[in-house]
Amino acid sequence: MTYSLRRVLLGTGVVLASSAATFAAAVAITMSSPAFAAGKDYRFELVQAIPAGAGKSDVTVRLVRTADGRPVGNAEISAATAINTVAEPAGSRRFLVETATAGPQTLQVSAKVPGATRVERSFNSSVKFMQERTIRGASEVVTGAVTFDAQ
């Protein structure tokens, strides 16, 4: 084997080895992203329900994580049967609900929880450049119900 052919083969082997290492590192970084939560990981809680006039109630609802009981601050909570909604602090939402009769009432609610954010990094060894991008996971819709007493 001639010297120039050996040098080309050795150079090609180094490039392939560095490419394989870069690919393995990129796969490891990508695979280490957090797992996405399921709908059973959340629950809706009734914060308060107060009368708001004849046949109406002000109902405040929040979405919490079942694992630690902390409110989900960035969730978009909605209810189809509510007349008006007002955002409250700590991940809560207040609804004005029309109630036909006094007694226990059920309000169907849903929330859109933004997906987890992860950062992907890849290193190009030939130009010694680290590329980084932020990827937001798919949002999850959580549905549930809260029960309150109407006056």
User: 26 in helix, strand or coil?
Assistant: helix
Separation between Cα atoms, residue 31 and residue 25, nearest integer Å: 10
* Cα distance between the two ends of the chain: 95
Measured between alpha carbons, how far is 105 from 57 in angstroms, rounded to an integer?
A: 10
Separation CA 70–CA 48 (nearest Å): 17
Spell out the CATH class of 36-150.
mainly beta
Task: Report pLDDT for 4.
Answer: 60
| Residue 25 in this model has a pLDDT that exceeds 60 | no
What string of DSSP letters covers 28-76?
A: HHHHTSPPPPPGGGEEEEEEEEEE-STTEEEEEEEEEETTT--B-TT-E
Query: What's residue 89's pLDDT?
Result: 77
Q: Is the pLDDT of residue 90 over 80?
A: no
Q: Residue 38 above 60 pLDDT?
A: no
Res. 128: pLDDT tops 70: yes
- pLDDT higher than threshold 70 for residue 5: no
Q: What six digits make up the tokens of 77?
A: 């909570």
Distances (CA, A) of 106 to 11, 50, 132, 146: 71, 14, 47, 6
Predicted pLDDT of residue 39:
60
Give the mean pLDDT of 128-149. Answer: 86
Average pLDDT, the chain: 77
